[in-house]
């Protein structure tokens, strides 16, 4: 190692430490911002350090690419609305995986006749998971952005096709380790992986997106870690491992919050054909609707209101009005708390970010385990565009597809007001008996306009 190389390695080590400290700072919202700014410094150091690498002899491509990347990345960082965060995160997994895949392809092309088997294993893993993540993330982005239908796309024999494709790709991978000098197989494997990414995400519905987005996060991380193995760069291995661990942990948490296994999410096509077994039909049950005036009255004279936001709040972009309503109620002496289900929305933490944007202090946001015991004391639980996460069938109806999923015990509160567009069943197509319960009142209409009406009614009191 010459002196220059030692300095570069020292910089990489410092960057790795800063990254780990940055992630550690995320354990508390007060420290998080500073910690992540330090991580950004670590990144800048790593980039500058790399530019001193003796292998780099021309800077025109580098400069242009850095400028282009900044021009595209800046608006993606500064102007994407918080409601579009799930698709924004999904597309960034695509960029990460794309970089890893291309580096893998280039390394293979150049070194191809003399690639050792161990390096081939890393390269193969890198392009296999990288390519799969590129198209998978793009599909997830398309579904979340509603470029393609958010509903699961299924056909007969789908799982068999997917498993066969995956098996063939793995067989190619093993063959490449056995005989690294097989470029045709290498490129065919990439093609197959790209296809597999599309097929894998097709059958997954919107409500399952938190798991898939986390899983793709993990794959993108593993792909960059494999890049690190292939080009023998420790900082890449470390960051990839951090990213992979984070995505893996999040997908486990999300699956748990839905009481489903990984396999079930990936191969189950949740909610594809509306589950007919979903409990008794609700035809002869009555719905109690309520006017905005009455609803406002009940909340204004309550002592405690718990707000339960769901994806519907994000769709209607209603988070600011929610914050406004809560402020008004608090001025009248009402205690307002927010109950956040782990899979509410389309991404881990989705609701928290939206409410933080609406200036709701984070100490009013409660996780499911913290708030569930509070519902019996709440005078009003205000459900805004949430459905499956408050469906009591998950507790009581063994035939329901969501049976066993931990839910927010909204039905135990003294009164429930549900803001909902119509009586159409939710995303998973499962009938929700909460809406027919005697202590539930429905306020129909778009969440945002309903909330706006509530705000003006409370003001008028």
Long-range contacts of 255-263 (CB under 8 A, 24+ apart): 255/211, 257/341, 257/342, 257/343, 257/368, 257/405, 257/406, 258/208, 258/211, 258/343, 258/402, 258/405, 259/394, 259/402, 259/403, 259/404, 259/405, 259/406, 260/405, 262/211, 262/215
Binding mask 385-424 for another protein (x = CB under 8 A): ----------------------------------------
Binding residues for another protein restricted to 56-95, rule: CB under 8 A? 56-59, 61-62, 64-66, 68-70, 72-74, 76-78, 80, 82, 85, 88-89, 92-93, 95
First to last CA, the chain: 76
Cα gap 204→198, rounded to integer Å: 11
How buried is 358 (Cβ within 10 angstroms: 0-12 exposed, 13-18 middle, 19+ buried)?
middle
Q: Is 123 helix (H, G, I), strand (E, B) or coil?
A: helix
Active site residue 363: no
Two tokens, residue 14: 């410092």
What are 175's two structure tokens? 């063959």
Q: Does 310 bind another protein (CB under 8 A)?
A: no
Of 9, 14, 20, 293, the one binding another protein by CB under 8 A: 20
Complex with another protein: residue 11 or 393, whichever CB lies closer: 11
Min separation Cβ 277 and another protein, Å: 31
* Rounded Cα gap, residues 378 and 415, in angstroms: 8
Closest CB 380 distance from another protein, rounded Å: 16
CB of 375 to another protein, least distance (A): 12
Q: State which residue, 7 or 47, has the beta carbon closest to another protein.
A: 47
The Cα–Cα gap between 447 and 109 comes to 54
Q: Which of 344, 341, 405 is nearest to 371 (CA)?
A: 341
Binding mask 218-237 for another protein (x = CB under 8 A): --xx--xx-xxxxxxxxxxx
Nearer to another protein (CB atom), residue 70 or residue 291: 70
Smallest distance from another protein to CB 60, Å: 9
Nearer to another protein, 271 or 342 (CB): 342
Nearest to 308 by CA among 404, 227, 403, 374: 374
Please pick, from the candidates 149, 164, 261, 359, the single residue that binds another protein as defined by CB under 8 A: 359
Binding mask 247-286 for another protein (x = CB under 8 A): xxxx--x---------------------------------
Considering only 6, 10, 106, 147, the residue that binds another protein (CB under 8 A) is 106
102 in contact with another protein (CB under 8 A): yes
Report 139-178 residues binding another protein (CB under 8 A). none
Q: Tell me if 197 contacts another protein by CB under 8 A.
A: no
CB 93 within 8 A of CB 217: yes
Kindly state the smallest distance separating residue 313's Cβ from another protein, in Å: 15
Please choose, from the candidates 165, 173, 246, 159, the residue with its C-alpha nearest in 3D space to the C-alpha of residue 204: 159
Of the residues 30, 208, 243, 388, only one is catalytic, namely 388
Query: Which of 154, 335, 449, 452 contacts another protein by CB under 8 A?
Result: 335
Which segments of 29-182 does DSSP mark as H helices, in order? 29-51, 60-78, 85-111, 117-144, 158-178
Number of helices and strands (H, E) in the chain?
A: 17, 6
Instruction: Give the separation between CA 327 and CA 132, rounded to whole angstroms.
Output: 46
- Residue 14's φ and ψ, nearest 5 degrees, are -60, -45
> Between 360 and 417, whose beta carbon lies closer to another protein?
360
CB 402 within 8 A of CB 430: yes
Residue 72 CB, nearest distance to another protein (Å)?
5
Count, residues near another protein per rule CB under 8 A: 127
The span of 34-42, 159-167, 308-316, 442-450 binding another protein (CB under 8 A) equals: 34-42
Interacting stretch for another protein, rule CB under 8 A, among 26-34, 272-280, 420-428, 438-446? 26-34
Name the minimum Å distance from CB 231 to another protein.
Answer: 5
Task: Locate 4 and state its tokens.
Answer: 């220059």
Q: Is 376 in the site for another protein (CB under 8 A)?
A: no
198 binds another protein (CB under 8 A): no
Residue 424: both structure tokens together: 């159409």
Cβ proximity to another protein, 228 vs 415, nearer residue: 228
**Structural contact between residues 203 and 273, judged by C-beta atoms closer than 8 angstroms:** no
- Regarding 240 and contact with another protein (CB under 8 A), the answer is yes
Q: Which residues does the annotation mark as catalytic?
A: 388
């Amino acid at each position: 190692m010459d002196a220059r190389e030692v300095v570069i390695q020292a910089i990489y080590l410092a960057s790795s430490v800063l990254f780990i400290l940055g992630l550690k700072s995320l354990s508390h919202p007060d420290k998080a911002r500073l910690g992540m700014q330090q991580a950004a410094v670590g990144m800048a150091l790593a980039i500058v350090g790399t530019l001193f690498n003796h292998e780099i002899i021309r800077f025109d491509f580098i400069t242009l690419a850095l400028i282009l990347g900044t021009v595209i990345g800046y608006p993606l960082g500064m102007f994407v609305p918080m409601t579009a965060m799930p698709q924004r995160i999904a597309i960034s997994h695509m960029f990460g995986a794309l970089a890893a895949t291309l580096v893998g392809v280039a390394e293979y092309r150049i070194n191809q006749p003399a690639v050792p088997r161990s390096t081939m294993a890393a390269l193969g893993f890198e392009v296999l998971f990288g390519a799969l993540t590129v198209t998978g993330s793009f599909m997830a982005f398309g579904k979340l952005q509603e470029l393609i239908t958010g509903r699961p796309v299924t056909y007969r024999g789908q799982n068999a096709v997917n498993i066969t494709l995956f098996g063939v790709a793995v067989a190619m991978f093993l063959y490449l380790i056995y005989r690294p000098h097989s470029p045709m197989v290498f490129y065919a494997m990439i093609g197959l992986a790209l296809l597999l990414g599309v097929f894998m995400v097709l059958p997954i519905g919107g409500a399952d997106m938190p798991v898939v987005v986390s899983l793709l996060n993990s794959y993108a991380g593993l792909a960059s870690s494999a890049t690190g193995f292939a080009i023998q760069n420790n900082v890449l291995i470390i960051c990839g491992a951090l990213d992979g661990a984070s995505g893996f942990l999040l997908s486990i948490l999300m699956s748990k919050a839905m009481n489903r296994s990984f396999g079930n999410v990936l191969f189950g096509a949740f909610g594809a054909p509306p589950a007919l077994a979903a409990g008794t039909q609700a035809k002869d049950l009555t719905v109690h609707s309520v006017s905005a005036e009455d609803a406002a009255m009940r909340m204004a004279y309550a002592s405690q209101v718990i707000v339960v936001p769901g994806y519907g709040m994000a769709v209607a972009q209603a988070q600011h009005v929610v914050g406004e309503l809560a402020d008004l109620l608090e001025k009248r002496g009402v205690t307002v708390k927010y109950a956040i289900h782990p899979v509410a929305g389309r991404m881990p933490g989705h609701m928290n970010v939206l409410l933080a944007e609406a200036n709701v202090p984070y100490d009013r946001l409660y996780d499911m385990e913290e708030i569930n015991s509070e519902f019996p004391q709440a005078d009003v639980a205000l459900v805004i565009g949430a459905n499956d996460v408050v469906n009591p069938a998950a507790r009581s109806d063994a035939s329901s597809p969501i049976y066993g999923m931990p839910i927010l015990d909204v039905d135990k509160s003294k009164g429930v007001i549900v803001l909902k567009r119509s009586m159409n069943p939710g995303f998973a197509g499962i009938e929700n008996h909460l809406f027919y319960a005697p202590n539930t009142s429905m306020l129909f209409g778009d969440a945002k306009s309903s909330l706006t009406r509530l705000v003006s009614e409370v003001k008028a009191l």
